[in-house]
Amino acid sequence: MKISLNWLKKYVDIKIPDEELVRLIGARLVEVEGVIDETHKYDNIYVVRVESAEKIPDTHLTLCKINVGDIEVKNVPKTDGLVQVMCGAPNVHAGMLAAWIAPGAVVPASVHEDAPFVIGKRTMLKKYDSYGMLAAADELDLGVDHEGIIEIEPSMAKPGEAFADVFELKDKILEIENKSLTHRPDCFGLIGFAREVAGILGQRFDEPIFLTHETVFEAGFLEQTKNSVRKKGTKIKIKIEDAKICPRYTCAQIKIVDPLAKNKYFSMMDTILAKSGMHSISKIVDVTNYLMLLTGQPLHAFDYDKFNKVGGTSEPNVIVRVAKKGEKIELLDGSILECTSDDILITSNNVPVGLAGAMGGANTMIDENTKNVFLEAATFSLFNLRKTQMSHGIFSEAITRFTKGIPAGGTFNVLAEAIKEINGKVIDMNDEWMEDVKSNTVEVSVNEINDLLGTQYDEALIIKTLSNVGFDIKKKGKKLLVIAPYWRTDIHISEDITEEVGRLLGYDNIAPVLPLHLTAERNPAFVLRRRIRELMARYGASEALTYSFVSGRLLEKAGQDVKNSYKIINSISPELQYIRQSIVPSLLDKTYMNEKLPVDKFAIYEMNSIYRKEYGMDTESVPIEKASLGFVIAERKNKDTAFYKAKKYAAKLFEELNIEVDFLPLEGKRAEEKPFEPKRSAEIFINEEYVGVVGEFKNSVKTEFKLAPYVAGFEVDIELLLKYMSQKKTIAFGVKKKEDLTITTNKTYAEALKQVKKDYPDAQILPGVIYQAEGQNDRNITFHIIK
Amino acid sequence: MNELEKLKQELKKINAEAVGVKDLPVEKRAEFGRKINTKKAEILAKIAEAEKALLDVDAEPIDVTAWSGTNEAMPEFYPTEFGSKHPLMTELDRVIEIYQMMGFDVMESRQLDDEFHMFDSLNFAKEHPARDGYDTFRTEEGLIPPAHTSTMEHRALKKYKYKLEKGEPIAVVIPGRVYRNEDVDATHEHTFYQCEGMFVSKDCTLGNMLGVLREFFERYYEQKLEIRTQPGYFPFTEPSVELLIEKPKSLGGKKGDWLEMLGCGMTHPNVLKMAGIDPTVYHGFAWGGGIERLVLLKYALGDIRLFESGNLNFLREFN
């Protein structure tokens, strides 16, 4: 959202420098993403009077002599006190006031370009000198119109006056981050924003008169029933199917001449639309847009006669209802929309004429033949409109405001102001306010506020701060009864009031104080992971992090069943569609890339959470989460058996944590074991409990992942490490005797070891090399015996 | 071998059968083609499976109980120079360590959660537009890989409620991995890390919150720091604030440079209430901030995608 400081200053008396104001707005209202300084954007642009305009035959050009008042521009000659300029616009004529971009000035529309365009002297049709240019709205960056130059109302200015002074264009535009105002629909209009700025500055906000009184209607024209204000004997019928979808619907029939006409003269309203990021379209649309920017209340104008014709009625019969699923409506932009049952429709006698809050229907669009306008100011369910926004992708200024929850209290006054601005004649007017109006009243005490903030604000300051922005405060014993104005739909509990006080007076004025010192418990899982990281780094392994989301293809490559993975329905890409079942496949995916880098040899590992559907749900009905450590080594040139290096790393990990494990032949049934080759892998057990797998990968897996021959890894359950790790470690001091023992056998290492252990019950036995002579069945297994 | 041969024979048969399509009346051809194609796809899948199995049959068994291969040297560990710790984990450790010194317990955040913890328990109204701001992923079951570590607030409150009953405050930090459905570029990641913090006691104030956070950043950057706030909006805090710190000297900060560090606020009474804590007796405050940003700033890194890249050239920089 864009906020013009000049416009803001019309509603609040601001005496501090702009920088300080921006700082305070940032600190106490909303994040200011940027400030566009337009102080010099309109330098050297002047109001001039076209004294003569002579059409050059057979061209679109007009030779103009302009009165530039007292302005003297270097190298711009005056003849009879007039400057010569050529103009291509069809609407240029003698006697008009126009905007002249003098030679040397930058064309405002090009200010933000890399090479801003500087106007100079040109010679046209080889003989006409032209100094500067008469500007159209688009060149001034104040609209999109390029059909003609802008014309200024004669009473507004004199030749030679700076254009920027006349239209208050020496301005700064604040770029506001909308997200932090999600709960503040009132701040999506300049008045609401200005009210907050007044509050921040400690000033009482003067509510614009039109918001509290209406002045359009003749005496006796209106009557009031409950909350609703309508014309006596109105012929407009309004039926709202459900108060929840449309709390209030206010509308009027207005007689108007030439509704598509653009205003002849360029106006302040044009500049405000432009500064707010919109642009002039037609008289009626401009007024509705302007009032939306000013008040936050969007308006919509239908063709009154079409409205009745479509519904087959002589007077409007407005029915507001939710759409039937699949019901179709053609919108203003020509698109045909298929509704969902959450969309709200404005219908004429049940025939859809508008998608509420989003866009009007094509069948009731205003055109040059429109004689009566049917103007609507309503509020709708933000929940329904949010769904409309999402399912149809409509992101207009209006729906952005509606989805914040526009308060119902403002529709009538904004409608009345629109009628005044349009300058049409009100024929009829009706209003249906479905809710009982009750103001939000919150009870809060001065102590409660100070206790939560850590402040010592006194009662008088709190009352003044709140009443400055429209809260009504009554005292009730030791408590304050704070009555929120209708536009503060976000106020419900005492903490909301505390927030207002803290914010308006500035959180930065609250002293930071540390609470008392505490003692914390260590989290063993974090301590363990830190130890593992230390260990791995010491032994040359690199810690990696990879995505929790993997592709179905990756699971298949690793031999895992995709049905065992939770599937993301709105994933960014097929690469990120499933939640992984183990860590190793993600690392294998990185192995090929790293070998290509190239890194000749490496060990990478990751500790992270995994999920599998087979694990089921925990007591909170959310999927059971497991912590897993995956590890992979790879080398490009090594011809040895990779398994043993991976096993050495795994064994080191258990040794560090003082856990005794057994390596047993692999069955290969568990999901994390699927990529591992059963003939070249082992399951790891702590006593009888399975803790993980270490080994090489299946040939098919190696092919799929494009792995070099020397690659192996392991995956272990971190929670079991945590369960079995211990501080216990026996260290034997003293002189040690070491001897080697070699056994020739056809048994496995483990079987041979069992025999050796029997012979040396008290010794520490370490593995030595294994040798097998060519043509022999038996192997020579060497053991180092340390006594 | 036999199995594969059989499958290949079958494929040949189907291909032969497929030729018959031209003898069929036109209206039956489409149906016939569909059937043949389905059959063919099944056979091709089986062949792929069989070929895979064939590849795997070639694997030579080894003695997995041994510590080295036959006629091979004992394997060696890689040199320490190869080793490295992931910078995000190192930073997270440091963050946790500081909070622990300040008396905060540590709890870990989940990576797959539900609507209740992610939104309902945090006072997000049902269907409220504020839920959209989090760009959450969802599983088929409606589960959510959490978009913020606040998903753990409700659990933390319930877990540590006993402390309040003993007259002690709840003080906990909750680091974890979170996810947002965002297109990835140099400054955006769909997967990143946050650290949540919570404090609940009878008399804590917004001033205490500012005190704790300033203390943290002063310890983290090892210098005195100015802090600043701007109003924020989170359904689960009231008031809600964004905290900025003066850019530290170690990061090349000059006077007037500010860094937006985290969102924070006084815990909404409904959040306390839902966890069974009486908000008329207890107040709380909470905050949450990203870890990547700390690391990017610290090493002047320009690309957030490096963290999850698994690229060793990057990882080994953090030896």
Q: In sequence order, what DSSP letters do the residues of A714-740 get, joined into one string? A: EEEEHHHHHHH--S------S---EEE
Q: Looking at CA atoms only, how far is residue A508 from chain B in angstroms? A: 6
Contact residues on chain A for B201, CB-CB shorter than 8 A = 515
A589's tokens: 């995916």
Instruction: Calculate how close chain B gets to A495, using CA atoms only, in Å.
Output: 6
> Chain B within 8 Å of A393 (Cβ-Cβ)?
no
Contacts of A640 in chain B (CB under 8 A): 69, 72-73, 75
Residue found under tokens 């949010």: A386
| A598 prior amide bond cis, ω within 30 | yes
Between B60, B181, B207, which is nearest A679 by CB? B60
- Residues of B numbered 256-285 whose beta carbons fall under 8 angstroms of chain A's beta carbons: which are they? 266, 268-269, 283
Determine, for residues B207 and A513 on separate chains, whether the beta-carbon distance falls below 8 Å. Answer: yes
Q: Is the dihedral of CA B138, B139, B143, B145 positive or negative?
A: negative
Residue A221 makes CB contacts below 8 A (sequence gap 6+) with A231, A232, A426, A429
pLDDT in tens, A231-278: 988 999 999 999 999 999 999 999 988 878 777 899 999 999 999 999
Give the gap in angstroms from C-alpha A681 to the nearest C-alpha of chain B. 6
* B234: Cα separation from own chain's centroid: 20
- What confidence score (pLDDT) does residue B36 get? 85
Q: Which of A381, A521, A549, A667 best probes binding to B when mutated, by most B CB atoms within 10 angstroms?
A: A521
Residue of A699, A710, A756 to mutate, testing the B interface (most B Cβ within 10 Å of its Cβ): A699
- Could you tell me the fold of the domain covering B87-318? BirA Bifunctional Protein; domain 2 (3.30.930)
Which residues of chain B make contact with A541, given a CB cutoff of 8 A? 78, 82-83
Q: CA of B23, closest CA in chain A: separation in Å?
A: 39
SS3 A451: helix
Residue B58 in contact with partner chain A when CB distance is under 8 A: yes
Which of A390, A510, A749 is nearest residue B210 as measured by Cβ atoms?
Answer: A510
- Closest C-alpha to A608, from A635, A633, A580: A580
Rounded Cα distance, B40 and B268, in Å: 61
pLDDT for residue A783: 94
Asked if B316 and A769 come within 8 Å (Cβ–Cβ), the reply is no
Q: Which of A561, A567, A559 is nearest to A585 (CA)?
A: A559
Do B244 and A27 meet the contact criterion of CB atoms below 8 Å apart? no
Q: What pLDDT is recorded for position A517?
A: 67
Could you tell me if B47 lies within 8 Å of chain A, comparing CB atoms? no
Interval A334-382: pLDDT, tens? 999 999 999 999 999 999 999 999 999 999 999 989 999 999 999 999 9
CA A671, chain centre distance (Å): 39
Q: Tell me what percent of the residues of chain A surpass a pLDDT of 70.
A: 99
Contact A477, A446 (CB under 8 A): no
Tell me the residue ranges of DSSP E strands in A361-466.
372-379, 425-433, 441-445
Question: Which of left, alpha, beta for B73 (phi over 0: left; psi -120 to 50: alpha)?
Answer: beta
Q: Closest to A770 (Cβ–Cβ): which among B66, B269, B319? A: B66
Task: Enumerate the domain spans of chain B.
Answer: 2-57, 87-318
CB–CB of A520 and B110 under 8 A? no
Q: Which residue of A has its CA nearest to B154?
A: A620
* Regions of chain A with pLDDT less than 70: 517, 732, 735
Contacts of A478 (CB under 8 A, 6+ apart): A445
Question: For position B1, what pLDDT does the model report?
Answer: 52
Q: In what order do the strands lie in the sheet with A441-445?
A: A441-445, A479-483, A472-476
CB contact under 8 A, A530 and B63: no
Residues of A in contact with B183 (CB under 8 A): 572
Sequence letter at residue B194:
Q
Q: Which of residues 86-125 of A touch B (CB under 8 A)?
A: none
Nearest-by-Cβ selection for B206 from A502, A536, A548: A502
Q: Which residue in A has a C-alpha nearest to residue B210's C-alpha?
A: A512
| Single-letter amino acid code for the residue at A234 | T
Which strands make up the sheet holding B105-106, listed edge to edge? B105-106, B170-179, B191-201, B283-290, B258-267, B237-246, B227-231
Which of B76, B96, B241 is closest, CB to CB, to A507? B241
Nearest alpha carbon to residue A542 among A496, A491, A594: A594
Instruction: For residue A314, count other CB atoms closer than 10 A to its CB.
Output: 9
Q: Which helix (H) or strand (E) holds B299?
A: helix B292-299
Task: Mention every residue, 6+ apart, whose C-beta is less than 8 A from residue A47.
Answer: A97, A98, A99, A100, A152, A157, A158, A159, A160, A161, A162, A163, A166
Q: How far is B120 from chain A (nearest CA, A)?
A: 14
- Burial letters A363-400, b for 16+ CB under 10 A, else e: bbbbeeebebbbbbbbbbbbbbbbbbbeebebeebbbb
Report the chain A residue with the minimal C-alpha distance to residue B48.
A700
pTM: 0.85
B4 touches chain A (CB under 8 A): no
Do A521 and B104 make contact, defined as CB atoms within 8 angstroms? no
Can you tell me whether residue A542 is helix, strand or coil?
strand
**Does an H or E element contain A506, and which?**
none
Q: Which of A624, A581, A642, A633 is nearest to A605 (CA)?
A: A633
Confidence class of residue B259 from pLDDT cuts 50, 70 and 90?
very high
Query: Any CB–CB contact under 8 A between A513 and chain B?
Result: yes
Task: Kindly state the average pLDDT of the residues B40-63.
Answer: 86
User: Which A-chain residues 640-669 have CB contacts (< 8 A) with chain B?
Assistant: 640-641, 643-645, 647-649, 651-652, 663-666
The answer to whether B179 faces chain A, any CB pair under 8 Å, is: yes
Interface subset of A 161-220, CB within 8 angstroms of B: 179-184
Q: With an 8 Å Cβ cutoff, is A609 touching chain B?
A: yes
For A349, phi then psi, to 5°, come to: 50, 40
d(CA B109, CA B99): 16
Q: Which of A511, A544, A572 sits opposite B315 (nearest CB)?
A: A544
For residue B212, give both structure tokens. 């704790």
Of A383, A566, A647, the CB nearest to B139: A566
All domains of chain A in start order, with CATH: 2-35+174-200 (3.30.56), 45-166 (2.40.50.140), 209-433 (3.50.40.10), 441-509 (3.30.56.10), 524-724 (3.30.930.10), 738-786 (3.30.70)
CA distance B237 to chain A (A): 9
- Inter-chain touch B100–A520, beta carbons under 8 Å: yes
Rounded to a whole number, what is the distance in Å from the CA of A178 to chain B's nearest CA? 11
Chain B residues near residue A180 by CB distance under 8 angstroms: 230-233, 242
